[in-house]
Chains A and B, each alone.
Chain A
Amino acid sequence: MASSQTLVQPVNLPIPRRQVNVARFLRTLLAAVIAGIFFLPILWWMLASFKPTQEILSVPPTLIGFEPTLNWYRVVLGNADPTSANLETTGSVGRGSGGSTFYSIPYLRDSLVVGIGSTILALLLATPAAYAMSRFPLRRRKDLAFWILSQRMMPPIVAAFPLFFMFRQLGWVDTYHGLILVHAAINAPLAVLLLMSFFDEVPRDLDDAAMVDGATRFGAFLNSLTLIRGGIVATAVLAFIFSWNEFLLSLVLTTGAIRTVPVASSTFTTAFATEWGYLAALGTASMVPIFVFILLVQRHLVRGLTLGAVK
């Protein structure tokens, strides 16, 4: 776009250079304000994790000039005793309730195990399928792609009760492998369609050449894998994030022995006295790593979010 403007404007619109720059500056300022508004809730929540309760609950909110405390993190990440550490200084009133403690390393660990496990499983199963859909002469390729896409559209509440019942029968409630399987299934459509779009970009001739040279089909497949490394990483990051954020099925298929971060966050609020400081600390601890990952694969994000429809 920038190049088109510099191409056309000098001919048609002889605007003085300074005036153009003022307009550009104002547009940039507006963009910065909008991006700022979208970032503000995150910033505020991160700051809240360092504030005593009375500061969190003061209106209008203070961005600076409060006395920072690490007490929320001491409990949430360090397993300090909430009653002794926080009662006077930060205003905590309880230990948590309903089998939910504020010590959140177990929740982060559960989320991490389920996220990594389901991402690996989804990729292991989806990569060969994506390769086959990209390479083999399938007669019903389009129908198959649409069926896979339609699985992505299914509302989780539809599967919640049948899976709950199945898990009870199999004794899979509160197990890692159960949740890993479910999250892998949720992410499989994403993985297949996205990886297919990456395989489509690898010239088919490379496979043929490898096989003429004596490689097996599987060897040619492994060879293509190395060529779409970036795509695989992007798929893995997105699958991990969707698992990390998934709420409804994690809620229904666990009773507390395993508890992912989104479920833990929701139990913190339903306790009789909501402990915003702990929630802010847990929220911040669960958001920041995700931010780093997503910015690393930003280049493929649009493609990932549309399952390969937009490249």
Chain B
Amino acid sequence: MADVEQIAARADQRAPTRRVQPVDHPARRRLTSDHAWLWLAPVILLLLFIGIYPFIYNIWNSFQEFNPMSGKVEPVGFENWQRLFQEMTQAGGRVRSALGTTAIYVSAALVIEFILGLSIAVLFNSGIWGSGFWQAVMILPMVVPPTVAAVMFKVLENPDYGALAYYLQSVGITDKVEPLLRGTGRFAIPAVLIPDVWQWTPFFVLILLAGLKALPTEPLEASRVDGATSWQTFCNVTLPMLRPMIAIAVLFRLVDLLKVFDYIYVLTSGGPGTRTEVISFYAYQRSFTTIEWGYGSVLGIVILVIAIVVATLFVRVFKVAW
């Protein structure tokens, strides 16, 4: 209740700040004479350095390639782009398979983390004792450095001495021939998803829990008075009211999932074979392992375009408001 009142009060406060200012008051005049761009310039410069410069550099660099024979960077025209086209259209092309792996990884992680997160948030919001404490415990996995989390699960999932591998084997999900890590890689994607789910389900819990707590209670009560079951109330009243929060949580998770790199690098290095090679990892390999700088730049542009398109579509479709 208190949250709703606070939000309403804030909305009242914010409204006047957007209105056009009257100009006759001396203080107002000083206010409009300030140069906003002077205050904004340092941050914009900083963002240009990491946002715009790499983009322009990548475009320029995509038309050249490092030649290991001469040890020099030489212009190659559209060769890198042709190669991208080939690896995207041919069956079994690395870009195509990396994009497929990324799509599988991202959608699996989103679905699992969202459903788990929503269920846990509802549970934590159902008037349990000490919900604040349990919530605090749930925050901890989120701030473990992802590489440290990946290392932890590398031990836990080790076929010879990992505890998680041991328990999964003893319940018969995996076996000695097909362990979580190594083997033919049948479980390789689940193996890299486990640390992701462990670290980021709490993200959904936290945001959806905040959303649930801020919901107005009147519609819920009305629905209960009308004789709806709690499941009906949840599906038809709670979820629609929660939609803006869900949209924001999914959006943030989505853009972060498209960047996934750390777990793959530490746990599988894209293997076995190219089984867990997501697009970020493939671009890293081309730029820094096989030293194909120009082609790495092409892949960088592809990733950026995908990230922008996905995020923009998402903002449009789900009307995420800032």
By beta carbon, the residue of chain B nearest A291 is: B140
Interface residues of B in 108-133 (CB under 8 A from A): 120, 123-131
**A27 and B143 within 8 A (CB):** no
By beta carbon, the residue of chain A nearest B227 is: A12
Known: A161-B58, A248-B262, A265-B148. A290 touches B20 (CB 8 A): no
Which 3 A-B residue pairings sit nearest by Cβ, starting from the closest? A132-B39, A185-B50, A162-B54
Q: Interface SS of chain B: helix, strand, loop or mixed?
A: helix
Chain A residues whose C-beta falls within 8 Å of the C-beta of B128 in the assembled complex: 24, 27-28, 31
Residue A228 lies at the interface, judged by CB distance under 8 Å to chain B: no
Count contacts on A: residues with CB < 8 A to the other chain.
113
Of the residues B129, B139, B255, contact of A294 by C-beta under 8 Å: B139
Residue from B31, B249, B307 with most neighbouring chain A CB atoms (10 Å): B31
Known: A2-B127, A31-B128, A311-B7. A188 touches B207 (CB 8 A): no
A-B contact pairs, 18 of them (CB 8 A): A8-B221, A12-B224, A34-B123, A38-B198, A59-B162, A128-B42, A134-B17, A136-B31, A148-B47, A151-B47, A155-B259, A160-B300, A163-B50, A207-B31, A217-B34, A248-B284, A263-B147, A286-B145
Chain B residues whose C-beta falls within 8 Å of the C-beta of A137 in the assembled complex: 20-21, 32
- Would you give the shortest CB distance from B174 to chain A, in whole angstroms? 13
**B155 and A56 within 8 A (CB):** yes
**A166 and B46 within 8 A (CB):** no
Q: Mark A274-311, 1 if CB is under 8 A from B, else 0.
A: 00100100010011001100110010011001100111
**A283 and B151 within 8 A (CB):** yes
Interface residues of A in 227-286 (CB under 8 A from B): 241, 244-245, 247-248, 252, 261-263, 265-266, 268-269, 276, 279, 283, 286
Residue B212 lies at the interface, judged by CB distance under 8 Å to chain A: yes
Residue from B61, B145, B206 with most neighbouring chain A CB atoms (10 Å): B145
- Would you give the shortest CB distance from B165 to chain A, in whole angstroms? 8
Binds B, one of A69-77, A78-86, A94-102, A198-206: A198-206
* Cα(A27)–Cα(B213), bound, Å: 17
**B123 and A4 within 8 A (CB):** no
**B140 and A39 within 8 A (CB):** yes
Residues in chain A within 8 A of chain B (CB atoms): 1-5, 7-8, 12, 24-25, 27-28, 30-32, 34-36, 38-39, 41-42, 44-45, 48, 56-61, 125-126, 128-129, 131-138, 142, 144-146, 148-166, 181-182, 184-186, 188-189, 192, 200-201, 203-204, 207-208, 211-212, 217, 241, 244-245, 247-248, 252, 261-263, 265-266, 268-269, 276, 279, 283, 286-287, 290-291, 294-295, 298, 301-302, 305-306, 309-311
Interface residues of B in 1-41 (CB under 8 A from A): 1, 6-7, 10, 13-14, 16-17, 20-21, 26-28, 30-32, 34, 36, 39-40
Residue B308 lies at the interface, judged by CB distance under 8 Å to chain A: yes
Residue B97 lies at the interface, judged by CB distance under 8 Å to chain A: no
**B300 and A157 within 8 A (CB):** yes
Chain A residues whose C-beta falls within 8 Å of the C-beta of B320 in the assembled complex: 309
**B58 and A301 within 8 A (CB):** no
Chain A residues whose C-beta falls within 8 Å of the C-beta of B139 in the assembled complex: 294-295, 298, 301
